[in-house]
Chains A and B, each alone.
Chain A
């Protein structure tokens, strides 16, 4: 009589690596779009008047205050219910990108606001246009100032990507979940998964330290 459970074996490597890969991919996509949109939204917030700011701030607050898991489920079921079901990867990427955008926009806004008005006047007095001042002065100085906070958000996005498993995306946590139900070896598997998350995040953290040291003026 064969056992209901089969122990963990080397044959599971491919399955686990798919999970690792999917976690990396959705994190890269979410951090990438989150950063891009975050810079734009952060800039708009730094530059616009009170009314626009209150409105934008309200929308961002929704993204920031509602738990990610609820956002994921609501979005993917709603979009399915209205007849446009999306791949778990696509739905997850959209929600995770917007979620990280909401946090990053605040980071970048404070970066843009940290560049003193007199610095911009000095640039304009050299004949630079408004947009040249943005691209050559305000953007690089502001981004440097908030790089450590940005890195913190990026690292948490990698870990938050685990939640995308609830809508059926086969990322690292979900792979491990399936392996656990098959093997009944949660301890080994969860430790292994933890190590994988560390391996994914640590290079980013190291890179951050390297960049910070390079930028320490």
Chain B
């Protein structure tokens, strides 16, 4: 479904990624974990087209997407729920959802389906997005990304700044998407939550992936060592 092969990337003279390779099959969920500065955000920036890779490539459904513009990548089926939700404050809830469909990609996700998956949003449709709670905003951000009918959905720090109850609501929505067969890559600081919500995990450190494997039965001590670099 989506493959990252020997990816090297950085900003100016600063190199951040050193040969990152990952593969996520159709319907799988990958949890990308790692401390701040490990390279998770840069990996997402390359996937979404905001950072051009120095070498290596990313393929989505067999088509190379690395080096394309962000708008072209969305049109090819990769959508993202950005860190901090980043809803458009001057748009209503429904307008935020509709803007997700801007690229006119064909598929089964439309307003009706988003409202059926996130029923709490329908009564709020005319409200300014900025008037919603953090958890409601996160559901809008997920719904907005789904409106582009993605093949793969990237979710960056879904629980950031949310109450524990709101995090539960958001991850219930993620579970539902997984059950429906959506392919996901999630970045999450809460390792327990990340492992419980994924099929496979990859732990990043210093721009590489020292540890990866199936999430079920993952060795927490081994992950902590890789996470903090206690080799």
Report if A and B associate in a common complex.
no
Q: Which residues of B approach A to under 8 Å, CB–CB?
A: none
